[in-house]
Structure 1
């Protein structure tokens, strides 16, 4: 039921009320247009503030918001053929273009991770969101927005240090008014230089825009080139933990020597992968364990990178298989990388199990991938069982020592982390189809 409300009209209000009543008919007729014009002014003003007036702070935007509001354009995307009378000429005044807002893009808080650039240079995985497409290679580019459509521009990106890359350039057409666009060209990185980046150092990248009259706007951005051993695995809420698989090097020449030594242990008669039963698979891993143990592999807890992690960015120092072989040291991630490299070389499928503070190995015991065991690689240097065994029972003692690390990971670690919902399993076989291994020296 509708309840009507009645109000007394005071004498002093009579004149105002009469005026309103007098013009009510014309007001009603004009009201739709007035409201439309007001809404249009509000919308246009909001768009102008958002575009020409300034960008939304990208560092505070979630990836979900990014995917919803941003269009990512990659190199090689066909540019539209637009008649000259439909294009909007860039307006140049006082050293800048005034009818299109732009800024350089340098993801990861102004840091470049060579391990990411190399491992994702030819990434062929199915990436179904704009954010991942914008960072999957160089993470360098341009951010555009304008209230006009079809603005033609020429662009350049140049490294002040030519050993990283020289210069890349091309044409770009900003197409849709009001659409925030990230243009991410392919950067011709010198992969050999990146692979040798063992320490972190500053680098300047110059971003340039030109119009057809030769007017130029240039901005230099100081960045920080990280070490090849620094692995980024989270940026804002986007996870990159699969990049740990880039440090697995299953084609390293040292692997053949380790496998020959594994045969000499007499724990196995052949390196056969999944050609035998489950026990044969386990004994192959145990033989590799014995070789590495006897080489004196030690656990090293070093995980810090050249710069500290932040709330937005988390990274860790990781030794490649090559690094670990040269130093005989490995932290939890390194040890998992070492074993995954060796197992992939003999076609045994491996899994990297990542938690908030730890990493250990999983390996399938058959080709069907229906059974999996876990291995705590940081127990590689343990010798309590081996040291107590008489010479005649040394081999059995090595197997028992190995199985101690298997039981600890399989029966204690994995169930506890699983119950706490604190683990991610990275299938190395799956990601090797997309992420290339880092080169070894």
Structure 2
């Protein structure tokens, strides 16, 4: 099968557009000189979003208007109605634990226009990486308009687990946004445990070395199989744990994703966990790998072959009880049956995504550090 490179994308599905019609904008109706806090993902702070977008090279589809000021991927900010042309504005946001005091200084160009200001917040990244369950946090907003300080405001939000991946949300203006490429942040080709997995495969003499795509087709498949059998030997089994707090929330969709260390420690992985684990290892040894999403499911795809002109998919939920050959047959058959849906621009097939990790890294999506990896 010839592989085509598919763009990483974010767009609203038909169902989400229908939801959008039922969802009112959360932008406050402000009088001149007034302001209120606003949030792109509800009153939530997602560590996975903060960390994975640190080096993101482009903004979201929802923030291209000229009245959006500050950080393109900001999710916490204020809405303010300018009382005059060229009005000075000073915004400071901080929190008790996770956000250092951060200031935005700028100008509101036109009187009577509502602007959305998202300071480039200074986060406590190491603390965010350690959040394993939902906890409350207080935000403080300090705003000066036309050099006149307004009364401070405090708001209460939820800081979510590092394991919660946001793949869809409705922003403050009621826009539906698909973000399946956030899953790429959980692929961690530099995780220290990968070296141990590769070493164990070599020790078991499943292969003599790892050369990735530098070898011929036969050697490439042997290397993939060596990794597959090593993970099987470690007792990795399929576990269907997917429930999150947002399952009934029409404005936010998240998926619980284990970090590599968690999958190894607990010897279990759901379809997403297994996919990011195997994708991480294969990317480490040089394969061009992608996460493949279909409705309610994920597996991986990778380019291989002497000229990197072939494409196979692997059904990662089969890792505990089946051979690699069987997993390749299952994954590749599913992809082949649905290939036209991956290529389609129709909103009907919005759940059919190919999230290429190389493209995600070029886009600026970075891996989430496993803060507990030293315990492995």
1:189–1:292 Cα change, 3 Å: same
For residue 140 of structure 1, the aligned residue among 68, 76, 81 is: 76
- Rg comparison, structure with higher value: 1
Q: What SS does the corresponding residue of 1:171 show, helix, strand or coil? A: strand
1:334–1:265 Cα change, 3 Å: same
For residue 159 of structure 2, the aligned residue among 218, 225, 230 is: 225
Q: Which runs of 4+ in 1 moved over 6 A?
A: 132-135
Q: Which runs of 5+ in 1 are unaligned?
A: 1-56, 67-96, 384-400
Equivalence for 2:346? none
> Number of matched residues?
332
Greater fraction helix: 1
Greater fraction strand: 2
1:358–1:211 Cα change, 3 Å: closer
Q: What SS does the corresponding residue of 1:415 show, helix, strand or coil? A: helix
Equivalence for 1:339? 278
Q: What SS does the corresponding residue of 1:301 show, helix, strand or coil? A: coil
Q: What SS does the corresponding residue of 1:374 show, helix, strand or coil? A: strand
Corresponding position: 1:244 with 2:178: no
Within a 5 Å distance, the mapping from 1:143-158 to structure 2 comes to 143-146=79-82, 148-158=84-94
Corresponding position: 1:431 with 2:360: yes
What is the TM-score with the length of structure 2 in the denominator? 0.81
Q: Which runs of 5+ in 2 are unaligned?
A: 1-20, 171-175, 342-348, 372-376
RMSD after superposition: 2.6
Please report how far the alpha carbon of residue 184 of structure 1 lies from its aligned counterpart in structure 2 after TM superposition. Answer: 1.2
Corresponding position: 1:414 with 2:353: no
For residue 189 of structure 1, the aligned residue among 114, 119, 123 is: 123
Equivalence for 2:134? 200
Instruction: Output the CA distance in 1 between the equivalents of 2:226 and 2:268.
Output: 19
Q: Which has the higher contact order (CA 8 A, sep 6+)?
A: 2
For residue 299 of structure 2, the aligned residue among 360, 383, 400 is: 360
Equivalence for 2:105? 171
Bigger mean CA offset, 178-187 vs 279-288: 178-187
CA contact (8 A) 2:215 2:306 kept: no
Q: What SS does the corresponding residue of 1:176 show, helix, strand or coil? A: coil
What is the TM-score with the length of structure 1 in the denominator? 0.70
Please report how far the alpha carbon of residue 99 of structure 1 lies from its aligned counterpart in structure 2 after TM superposition. Answer: 3.0
**CA displacement, residues 197-235 of structure 1 (integer Å, 9 cap, x when unaligned):** 001011111212125665422222211110000000011
1:147–1:268 Cα change, 3 Å: same
Please report how far the alpha carbon of residue 339 of structure 1 lies from its aligned counterpart in structure 2 after TM superposition. Answer: 0.5
Equivalence for 1:293? 232
For residue 403 of structure 1, the aligned residue among 285, 305, 325 is: 325
Equivalence for 1:70? none
